[in-house]
A and B are shown apart, each in its own frame.
Chain A
Amino acid sequence: MNEHHHIISYGKLTGIWLALLLLTALTVGITRVELGGFKVLAALSIACLKAGLVIAVFMHMKYEGRLLRWLLFLTLVTLAIFIGFTFFDVLYR
């Protein structure tokens, strides 16, 4: 793990914040477009992107060591598997 405190510049933090706001606006925006079955997919993709930004920058994962990144990755994969397996039911009901 990184011994030093990594200091992120105000400019970068503000940039990420603006990006998150923009993506939120986009989420609201696409509800007005007729996307059919892709509506949920689009909303979830934007949400994932936002979560990724928060984890990487605000939660400092971008500056952490490999072990912590792997642990987070494995946890997310586990969660994805649990959620994914329910689709064997939901998609084919």
Chain B
Amino acid sequence: MTTENIQSATQHSFWNDTGKTGISSWIFSTDHKRIGLLYFYSTFGFFLVGVLLGLLIRIELMAPGRTIMGAQTYNALFTVHGVVMIFLFIIPGFQGSFGNLVMPIQIGARDVSFPRLNLFSWWIYMIGAVIVLASLFTGGGPPDTGWTFYVPFSARTGTNVSLAVLGVFVIGFSSILTGLNFVTTIHRLRAEGMTWWRLPLFTWSLYATAWIQILATPILAITLVLVAAERMLGTGLFDPSRGGDPVMYQHLFWIYSHPAVYIMILPAMGVISDIVPVFSRKPIFGYKMIAFSSLAIAAAGSLVWGHHMYTSGMSDTAVLVFSFLTFIVAIPSAIKVFNWVTTLYKGSISLEAPMLFGLSFILLFSIGGLSGLILGAAATDVHVHDTHFVVGHFHYVMFGGTGFAFFAAMHYWLPKFYGRRYAEKPAVVSWALMFTGFNVLYFTMQVLGMQGMPRRYYDYLPEFATLNLVATAGSWILAAGLVIMLVNLFRGLWWGAPFEGNPWGGATLEWSIPTPPPTENFIVEPVVTHGPYDFKGSGIP
């Protein structure tokens, strides 16, 4: 493509053919790509806030005793870190940003089924986010309950829990609406020839995720209303002295929040299923099994919430049942991992930045998943429950898994929408730093947990000092890598070399349209004649 062609492609792209100008062309746009970028920048902005809070927590834990903050600030900090990361970044992040950006194009549609509802979802998300942020500076100060808002403490603490749960409640509606929109879109707006078995696996994973969002999120909403009722009306629902049951809160909370873990991880698995075959130059191994395993994870994953509650005083029968079911979820998860690895086998692997992040996902997610089995087995869980082992475990899954997949998606798809690319070498350097820092930080945490260091404690015994220092050093390496990655990526997207055609050699539909995509994606309505990983069929060498 010559420079003029790029320019004319850019002129007809979604970037500059709206009637509106300035900020209103974004915040009132119903174009799924613009909404996707709105979601991307808002959720990623909150991710960076969360990172900053996480770094502060690590600095506080660098040495025993007070380092930079008091105990109450520390409690607020880990709570807000959790709330921001979970509810403002990782749950809405993938669906909102890459789901919106890529999914309609992948199925050959001009937009989602309900574009206005889509914009409304973003608005609700932002309103919820503002309410959550307001809870930090009003009332009794930032909540200090942990992101799980466990009763009885959340019902009694003088901090601003009510406003924070209201914010999360509002954000929940955004999640439900996005789920509805995506299910409808995938059912109704597939292009001619785009059969269910030709859906890219990223879209499959979004589909499974959307069902969880629709079915599980209302339960979180109700639970949070009950916490607010407990605080404001003194209903006594969770108060044993008045016939209530605090364990019931944990049931209700985890009925949503465990499936929510799959809202976070499934789209990430979908990204990896799209990236691995492209960078191995091989069709994905076991396409149908990967698609089915997404649904199986969504279904079985909704029935395992009790594994968060082994030490809560729940009955032994329930412990047995939930432990058994937890082990069942490991099967579809392992199916995915084995299929990705088999896809790599004898492939022509090219180790570019998206693939490096993708491969790290497979390793880090596997470590996180296997440490999850240690927690899923009741006997070992009792030993490490509420220790740093748990913190290490879920950061392996959520950050090493979803986070790294998010970075992979940023390197893989964002150039497509900007028409410019990042520099490869700094991207690889940043990946190496992040991968190293990540493992130094979180593997050390798992060891600390095995040794008995509790989570959420402000202070600790001197024998944990060395490893805590190591973990904090890891967090700095990780942060350094993150800064390099962001500077390189965004400098590239705005001022980098042109990104044109299909440089990765993907066979899914988003690679068949101009870069950046036109407003309604396809100049001619596509007719799909081959599968998403049929590289030969789509004429890619």
| Residues of A bordering B, CB below 8 Å | 75, 78, 81-82, 85-86, 88-93
Contact check, A78 vs B215: say whether CB atoms are below 8 A apart. Answer: yes
Residues on B with C-beta less than 8 A from A91 are: 315, 317
**Within the complex, which residue of B219, B302, B303, B315 is in contact with A89, where a contact is CB–CB below 8 Å?**
B315
Partner of B317, one of A78, A81, A82, A92: A92
Known: A93-B314, A93-B315. A88 touches B306 (CB 8 A): yes
Contacts of B321 in A (CB 8 A): 85, 88
Which residues of B from 301 to 342 have beta carbons under 8 Å from A? 302-303, 306, 313-318, 321-322
Query: Residues of B contacting A81 with CB < 8 Å?
Result: 303
Q: Which 10 A-B pairs have the closest CB atoms?
A: A92-B315, A89-B318, A92-B317, A88-B318, A93-B315, A89-B314, A88-B321, A89-B315, A86-B251, A82-B255
Chain A residues, CB < 8 A from B322:
88
Q: Are A92 and B215 in contact (CB under 8 A)?
A: no
**Chain B interface, DSSP helix/strand/loop, else mixed:** helix
Q: Say yes or no: is B37 at the interface (Cβ < 8 Å to chain A).
A: no
**Is B6 interfacial (CB-CB < 8 Å)?**
no
| C-alpha spacing A82/B259, complex, angstroms | 12
In the complex, chain A residues whose CB is within 8 Å of the CB of B215: 75, 78
Question: Could you tell me the distance in whole angstroms from the C-beta of A9 to the nearest C-beta in chain B?
Answer: 35
A78 neighbours in B (Cβ, 8 Å): 215, 302
Does B247 sit within 8 A of A, measured CB to CB?
Answer: yes
Complex Cα spacing A82 to B321, Å: 14
Task: List residues of chain B with CB under 8 Å of any chain A CB.
Answer: 215, 219, 247-248, 251, 255, 302-303, 306, 313-318, 321-322
* Chain B residue nearest to A90 in the complex (CB): B315
Looking at chain A's contact residues, is the secondary structure mostly helix, strand, loop, or mixed?
helix
- Kindly provide the distance from the CB of B244 to the nearest chain A CB, expressed in whole angstroms: 13
Q: Can you give 20 A-B contacts (C-beta < 8 A)?
A: A78-B215, A78-B302, A81-B303, A82-B219, A82-B302, A85-B303, A85-B306, A85-B321, A86-B248, A88-B306, A88-B318, A88-B321, A88-B322, A89-B247, A89-B314, A89-B317, A92-B315, A92-B316, A92-B317, A92-B318
**Residues from chain B with Cβ under 8 Å of A75 in the complex:** 215
Name the residue in B215, B247, B316, B318 with the highest tally of chain A Cβ atoms < 10 Å from its Cβ.
B318
Residues of B within 8 A of A93 (CB): 313-315
Q: Once bound together, how far apart are the Cα atoms of A92 and B255, in whole Å? A: 19
Q: How far is the CA of A78 from the CA of B315 in the complex (A)?
A: 22
In the complex, what distance in Å separates the CA atom of A82 from the CA atom of B247? 15
Residues of chain A within 8 A (CB-CB) of B248 are: 86
**Alpha-carbon distance between A92 and B316 when the two chains are bound, in angstroms:** 7
A24 to chain B: closest CB distance in Å?
A: 23
**CA distance in complex: A86, B423 (Å):** 52
Residues of the A chain whose Cβ atoms lie less than 8 Å from the Cβ of B316: 92
B26–chain A nearest beta-carbon distance, Å: 35
Query: What residue in chain A is nearest B313 (Cβ atoms)?
Result: A93
* Bound CA span A82–B352, Å: 44
What is the bound-complex CA distance between A88 and B255, given in angstroms?
Answer: 14
B315 surroundings in chain A (CB, below 8 A): 88-93
**Which of chain A's residues has its CB closest to B255's CB?**
A82
Q: Closest CB of chain B to A69's CB: distance in Å?
A: 17
Could you say which residues of chain A place their CB within 8 Å of the CB of B317?
88-89, 91-92
A85's closest neighbor in chain B, by CB? B303
A1 to chain B, nearest CB (A): 15
